[in-house]
Amino acid sequence: MTDVDTVARAAAAAFEATRTATDAERAAWLAAIADRLDAAADELVDLADAETALGETRLRGEVARTTGQLRLFGQVVVEGSYLEATIDHAAPDATPPRPDLRRMLRPLGPVAVFAASNFPFAFSVAGGDTASALAVGCPVVVKTHPGHPRTSRRTAELVTEALAAAGAPAGAFAIVEGFEEGLELVDHPAITAVAFTGSLRGGRALHDRAAARPAPIPFFGELGSINPVVVTAEADATRGADLAAGLAGSFQLGAGQFCTKPGVVFVPEGSALEAALPALVGDGTPRLLTPAITEGFGTGVERVREVPGVDLVAGGAPGAPVVAATDAATLAAHEHELLAEVFGPFTLLVRYSSRSELRAALDRLEGTLTATLHAAPGEPVDDVLPRLEAISGRVLFAGWPTGVAVTWSQHHGGPWPATTSQHTSVGATAVRRFLRPIVFQDAPDEVLPAALREANPRGIPRRVDGVAQPA
Amino acid sequence: MTDVDTVARAAAAAFEATRTATDAERAAWLAAIADRLDAAADELVDLADAETALGETRLRGEVARTTGQLRLFGQVVVEGSYLEATIDHAAPDATPPRPDLRRMLRPLGPVAVFAASNFPFAFSVAGGDTASALAVGCPVVVKTHPGHPRTSRRTAELVTEALAAAGAPAGAFAIVEGFEEGLELVDHPAITAVAFTGSLRGGRALHDRAAARPAPIPFFGELGSINPVVVTAEADATRGADLAAGLAGSFQLGAGQFCTKPGVVFVPEGSALEAALPALVGDGTPRLLTPAITEGFGTGVERVREVPGVDLVAGGAPGAPVVAATDAATLAAHEHELLAEVFGPFTLLVRYSSRSELRAALDRLEGTLTATLHAAPGEPVDDVLPRLEAISGRVLFAGWPTGVAVTWSQHHGGPWPATTSQHTSVGATAVRRFLRPIVFQDAPDEVLPAALREANPRGIPRRVDGVAQPA
């Protein structure tokens, strides 16, 4: 396997070229990667299905999502707002006199990306972290996930070929494999930021390691999430059976192996949702992504089921999907056991007897990627909505959290332990993670980057003397 | 002294009110603080001069800077771009169908601010960290600096009175004093972010502590900076004496107690700057801010002077300003001793014999807040400019780094060890430190924050379906 030091040094050596490439050039690199992955979709899907058992339909969709994401980040950098170009002209008569100041964002340097188990394409070798870092001019070293090694290697070959053909510098992209190699990568002086998608335990260890370096670096981790869903009594009364179908689809999708899987669902006592749900829960035993995930699923389900006051609502054969249920008092007494994420096809219903009991139960939740509210049209939600906003990064109304659209406005993050950062790992603003500001003071126009020259030759949106100006 | 737990809990209790106050309301709170500080300027300047010896002119200017800063942050939040409001309308016919997504930034929660020694107003109780946090709706608890306790307490009284009169909630602002109290504050579960201006040693300890919490929080530290200045041979030949005057003023300003003080100056061998400098260096012994700073200054100067190959160019009486000089080879052999910040009126000239030797010497520098280039008009600077950009957050041309204008475009930050973050502590974008994104999916218009409603009732710049739109 490739030596980490060699790869990290090559990334550092490539930085000057990736940094000074134009946004249009980098967008072309990403498009070249996307084209090559699309052309190899059949082969990639076969490889990934053999390694992950996620199925052809899902995997084909994921390849398309991945290549769409690469192209979106190309559009984002060409559009140019991401540079946050800001110009304040000199004010020589001010007290004190003000110089000419021109600010923009610049790439940090080589980025380490830790691939996830559950998205062999979209959060892996050529996934959103890689795309957003490369888009803004940061070389990338991916630590692959051991759950899909052949898919990772083949994807890396395609990325490397595409980048070379598109004129990107050697060293702008590489992969490494292995647990120790991942640690070495986080420690390497050439690495300037880490992006990670994975478990709370693994993410916490790497977070602490990045913070403890002689020169600490930012760690952008997406770790774990319980994704609470609240169903009001009115919503349950009017469309409980529909909600059951939606929940059944969402928590079993991809065998429950999504960071946005609804893990706890607050329902009124005696809900129509609960009554309808058992018939919608599969009794097969889906193959999970890795032996460790299979084991963790079993352990997690057992931990919940052992709590006194927890019922089995549906499923429960070893390895099969499971729905358990409890009441708000039991949740309050056993929050540690009941509110830890169980990765896999499991969800917990929490029955509440009143809106105030619901509100109190919500106070026990920690940070989460998403929070979903199912209420009736026009129903007042002032008592629960602020709490859902306080703990999450995405608040959904009348939907299910397992789809994460890749758009300009998407946010995939939330308070600890959902993520370790104030930035997203999905959507256009994911690029902000790998940028830092720089301001030029009284610089001659000809030495400025194009984004900051007086004539705006890049034609990008800027803020000039305090006023936002379109392109 | 006030109990930290009580104060932190009060801040958490105030958060709902500070969060839901409108931007205009919070701007009015800041204006009320500014008005009250301006009205008490005489008293505050007297208090601060007795505690810091920074002098009336400087301190009066600093009060004005502080109140101007408070008003600027009010303008920033009223303008509304800081919310990064972004709307993507639903695309039901897309594959897969896309929901309606609306993203904006929201305040994090209570913020701990650690005041600096060297700015008793602008980086202290009512300084930029406090102003930027309050502006966006985060309650603030300031850990005051022991170097100016009476100034801090009096400022806090004025801030508290102004906030109460302007209708801000109790608990939105408080101070605590003491070393242990500061640690307790960083550890407190109600605190969601820390802003710090101070030494590398103290900042590193708090950074590590914030990262090690059960729920880690962001630590925005501004720690230490060497602020290199490069003088080309052409610039020295044409205006060496002027540059000597500029440098003499900059490194002795405020007795050298600025985080942006030029600490190392690269000059050609036999420079006119070096020849002219000694006559411009004071021989008095300025009173430094605290006994610890006085001691650190003496130790730092001694550490440099003991290096073989270092000459004394000017000054050097105990406690008086000092200019030392050395050559690039000595710098290379003793970078640890020569490139550590010496806080106080000290600067080190590094004589270079060629442009390539200059370039190699610049490669030894770590992250810094500023980097200054003095070249002749039209002189090619491609060989040194990229290096100055790579290590710093502000690149100056033909100026001196000790003035830091508070504007929309200012950036006060840089790679480690200058700061610990990708954000600034001065200028409009300082507010970004205390915000996190949230996205609403398929939300009814009436439950959305005003910034995201379809009709844009706030009248702010937004991005809609990928296109930046002015207000």
Active-site hit among B62, B222, B274, B357: B222
Return the residue of B nearest to A408 by Cα: B466
Residue B471, min C-alpha distance to chain A (Å): 8
Residues A373 and A264 in one domain: yes
CB nearest A88 (choices: B16, B407, B461): B407
User: In angstroms, rounded to a whole number, what is the distance separating the alpha carbons of residues A181 and A3?
Assistant: 8
Q: Is A170 on the interface with B (CB under 8 A)?
A: no
Any catalytic annotation for residue B138? no
Which chain A residues touch B211 with a CB distance below 8 Å? 207-208, 211-212, 216
From chain B, the residues in CB contact with A411 under 8 A are 103, 437-439
Distance CA A366, CA B216 (A): 13
pLDDT tens per residue, range A120-136: 999 999 999 999 999 99
> Tokens 């044409």 map to which residue?
B238
Chain B, residues 422-441, CB within 8 A of chain A, namely 422-424, 427, 429, 432, 435-441
The tokens 């600025």 sit on which residue?
Answer: B258
* pLDDT at residue B239 is higher than 80: yes
- Assess whether A140 and A203 both reside in one domain: yes
Q: What is the mean pLDDT of residues B421-430?
A: 95
Q: Are the beta carbons of B241 and B234 closer than 8 angstroms? A: no
A249-302 confidence digits (pLDDT tens): 999 999 999 999 999 999 999 999 999 999 999 999 999 999 999 999 999 999
Q: Are residues A357 and A333 in the same domain?
A: yes
B379-398 pLDDT per residue, tens: 999 999 999 999 999 999 98
Would A168 be classed as within a structural domain? yes
| Whether B167 contacts B33, CB under 8 Å | no
pTM over 0.90: yes
- Taking CA atoms, what residue in A is nearest to B210? A211
| B140 min Cα distance to partner chain A (Å) | 18
Q: Judge if B372 and B428 occupy the same domain.
A: no
| CB–CB contact A437 B96 (8 Å) | no
**Order of all β-strands in the sheet with B467-469:** A311-315, A322-327, A346-352, A264-268, A228-231, A368-374, A392-397, B435-441, B101-107, B86-88, B462-464, B467-469
pLDDT band at A396 (very low <50, low <70, confident <90, very high): very high
CA distance A409 to A392: 15
Shortest distance, CA A349 to any CA of chain B (angstroms): 23
Residues of B in contact with A75 (CB under 8 A): 466
Flag whether residue B17 sits within 8 Å of chain A, measured between CB atoms: no
- The catalytic residues of A are 222, 259
Looking at the fold, whether B219 and B352 belong to one and the same domain comes out as: no
B43: in domain: yes
Q: Which residues of B touch A469 (CB under 8 A)?
A: 470
What is the pLDDT at residue B226? 97
Mean pLDDT of B208-222: 97
In a domain, A404, yes or no: no
pLDDT exceeds cutoff 60 at B196: yes
CA distance B363 to chain A (A): 14
| List of chain A residues whose C-beta atoms are within 8 Å of the C-beta of residue B394 | 438-441
Q: Containing domain of residue B190, as a range?
A: 4-223+419-464
Q: What is the number of domains present in chain B?
A: 2
User: Which among B163, B168, B161, B154 is positioned nearest to B125, based on CA atoms?
Assistant: B154
User: A192 with A75, same domain?
Assistant: yes
Average pLDDT over residues A61-67: 97
- Look at residue A410 and tell me if it is in a domain: no
Q: Are residues A249 and A188 in the same domain?
A: no
Residues in chain B closer than 8 A to A443 (CB atoms): 395, 397
User: Which pLDDT score, from 0 to 100, does residue A224 have?
Assistant: 87
CATH number at residue B250: 3.40.309.10
Distance CA B298, CA B126 (A): 31
**pLDDT for B2 beyond 80:** no
Minimum CA–CA partner of B193 in chain A = A422
Write out the E strands in B198-345: 219-222, 228-231, 264-268, 311-315, 322-327
> Does residue A241 share a domain with residue A353?
yes
| Alpha-carbon distance B107 to nearest alpha carbon in chain A (angstroms) | 10
Tokens 């290590």 label which residue?
B391
* Contact state of B96 with A461 under an 8 Å Cβ cutoff: no
Answer whether B437 sits within 8 Å of A393, measured CB to CB: yes
Residues of B within 8 A of A385 (CB-CB) are 447
**A residues 191..230 contacting B (CB < 8 A):** 207-208, 211-212, 215-218
Annotated catalytic residue, options B181, B259, B274, B357 = B259
Pairs across A and B, CB distance < 8 A: 214
Segment A72-109, tens digit of pLDDT: 999 999 999 999 999 999 999 988 899 999 999 999 99
CATH of the domain at B439: 3.40.605.10
Is A397 close to B444, i.e. CB distance below 8 A? yes
Clarify whether residues A240 and A383 are in a common domain. yes
A206 and A67 belong to one structural domain? yes
Quote the pLDDT of residue B242: 98
User: Does A110 fall in a domain?
Assistant: yes
Interface of B with A in 62-101 (CB under 8 A): 64, 75, 79, 81, 84, 86-88, 95-96, 98-99, 101
Cα A33 from Cα A133, distance rounded (Å): 14
Does residue B281 lie in a domain region?
A: yes
Residue B410 falls inside a structural domain? no
Closest residue of chain B to A394, computed from CA coordinates: B439
pLDDT of residue B470: 84
> Does any domain span residue A126?
yes
Q: Do A275 and A209 share a domain, yes or no?
A: no
Residue B226 CA, chain-centre distance (Å), reads 14
Question: Does residue B207 sit in the same domain as residue B258?
Answer: no
pLDDT band at A421 (very low <50, low <70, confident <90, very high): confident
Tell me whether residue B259 is one of the annotated catalytic residues. Answer: yes
Q: How far is B346 from chain A (nearest CA, A)?
A: 24
